[in-house]
Amino acid sequence: MKQLELIVDQPVQGHYYWTIVDLGQAGESHYVLDYAQGPLATLGAARDAGLAVLVRHREGGSRQGEPIVLH
């Protein structure tokens, strides 16, 4: 099973974004697997939306596109 992590950030007051990162195996680069397309108004809304997408990824669903590698 993939090692996925949900991160919720508030870069601007009242604008919350979620990001799902694939942590990979030891020694591998981490990469962004999915992310919010726009801000959400509350921490709870961002957390709930991110968790729903995290569950979808764990069940095998995904968004099309190239991953963003984090070094």
What's the pLDDT score for residue 63?
61
In this structure, is residue 23 part of a structural domain? yes
Can you read off the two tokens belonging to residue 57?
């990824």
Domain housing 45? 4-62
- The pTM of this model reads 0.79
In this structure, is residue 67 part of a structural domain? no
In this structure, is residue 47 part of a structural domain? yes
In this structure, is residue 70 part of a structural domain? no
Tally of domains in the chain = 1
What's the pLDDT score for residue 30?
87
What sign does the CA torsion over 21, 24, 27, 31 have? negative
In this structure, is residue 71 part of a structural domain? no
In this structure, is residue 50 part of a structural domain? yes
40: buried, middle or exposed (CB in 10 Å: 19+, 13-18, 0-12)?
buried
In this structure, is residue 10 part of a structural domain? yes
What tens digit of pLDDT does each residue of 27-61 get?
A: 788 889 999 999 999 999 999 999 999 998 888 76
What's the pLDDT score for residue 71?
42
If one counts every other C-beta atom within 10 angstroms of the C-beta of residue 48, the result is 13
What tens digit of pLDDT does each residue of 19-31 get?
A: 999 988 877 888 8
